[in-house]
Chain A
Amino acid sequence: MSRPARLVLFLVAAAGVAALLVVAFLDLPPFGSPFHPYRDRAVAAAVAHATANVVGSVTFDQRGLDTLVEETILLGSVAGAAALLRPSKEERENTTVPEGGRVLEATKLTGYLLLPVTLLVGIDVVVHGHLTPGGGFQGGVLLGTAVHLLYLTGHYRALDRVRPLPVFDSGEALGAAAFAALGIAGIIAAGAFLGNILPFGTFGELLSAGTVPVFNIAVGVEVASGVIVLLAKFLEQALRVQREAVS
């Protein structure tokens, strides 16, 4: 189909979708209204389980099954991307990587200073996921990106040393397995898949909210490993893999 024809077809369809959306939006509850029945029930359920971060409670306690599926999507797509990014037959992987061009001293300094800070913030966000905004997904991404500050400082080799990929390959699988194992432990101890098996503790304390912090840590390990594996595969494609001269 030619480009103009495609555009016309899209505009006709988009006008239809836009009209349907406006009709649907007109029937929504008015923006900012105090009518939130799910909110009322979710807050009550979170407080009953001594979880200060209601979003964390919804994610890991009330809608745990959704999060398990979401985590499986993450695992599957990381595995899929890693499989797609393997060097193909006509390519070879260099064992040595040429050090990149010159990096500004200020960039290096910032990278080195921020590396420990970012790692600490990442761990903090994962561990306090049930008390403050954050959790395993957010903290995991922070942890995964933290080690890549080394790459920004111009040291791909250093990055290669601090992240042994097999460890993170298994870290990802272990995180996902821990989530499922906690779910099965819930069947045995609490009588429901992903049911809570730990004491709830005192509201607002570090050791509270039952299994939510444990889920946060499992997800944090999986997401951090997943981000590291993914970025490693993309970096390998850009830096290492070379197409052999086709004869």
Chain B
Amino acid sequence: MTLYVYLVAGWLLLVGSLGIVRSRDLVHTVVCLSVAQSGTYVLLIAVGYQRGATAPVFGSTTPPSENVVDPVVQAMTLTDIVVSATVTALLLALVIQIAKRHGTLDPDHLSSLKG
């Protein structure tokens, strides 16, 4: 069942999006965005996986060889995680501002514009 791991990645993306759509609290929305984004980590790591291969880090006991999982997608995942963490921080700061200005975190009560 080689499709399974890719389906997990797709499922994470969709279930995270479902959480955003159904959210009643902006902090919950931000966490759901992180869940949706973690689908990309699973997809990237799965694309680079090779059965029986080791980590792409060499040393005295593991001499350089081609028999490693793909380091390029791992570096991309690292970038992805860093960006996700910073975006989460920025969004949470925005949520704090919204809570102060509007006194609510329910997105359904935030429809009116307010200066």
Contact = CB atoms under 8 A, between A and B. Distances in A.
Given A14-B14, A78-B89, 5 more contacts: A34-B51, A55-B56, A58-B75, A137-B78, A233-B93
Interface stretch (A25-33, A102-110, A156-164, A177-185): A25-33
B70 A34 contact: no
Interface in A177-223: 203-204
Interface size class, chain B: 35 or more
The 8 closest A-B CB pairs, nearest first, are A77-B86, A32-B51, A54-B56, A54-B71, A58-B75, A31-B2, A25-B6, A81-B93
Interface residues of A, number: 58
A42 interface: yes
Contact of A59 (B49, B55, B75): B75
Chain A binding surface SS class: helix
Contacts of B71: 39, 42-43, 46, 54-55, 57-58
B56 A28 contact: no
Contacts of A137: 78, 82
Given A70-B83, A81-B89, A131 B108 contact: no
Nearest to B94: A84
B70 A32 contact: no
Interface in B27-83: 46-51, 53, 55-60, 64-66, 68-75, 78-79, 82-83
Contacts of A84: 90, 93-94, 96-97
B3 A204 contact: no
Interface of A: 3, 6-7, 10, 14, 17-18, 21-22, 25-26, 28-34, 36, 38-40, 42-43, 46-47, 52-55, 57-59, 63, 66-67, 70, 73-74, 77-78, 80-81, 84-85, 88, 131-133, 135, 137, 203-204, 230, 233-234, 237, 243
A21 B53 CA distance: 27
Given A59-B75, A77-B90, A52 B57 contact: yes
Interface string B97-115: 1001000000010000000
Given A46-B71, A204-B59, A230-B89, A31 B3 contact: yes
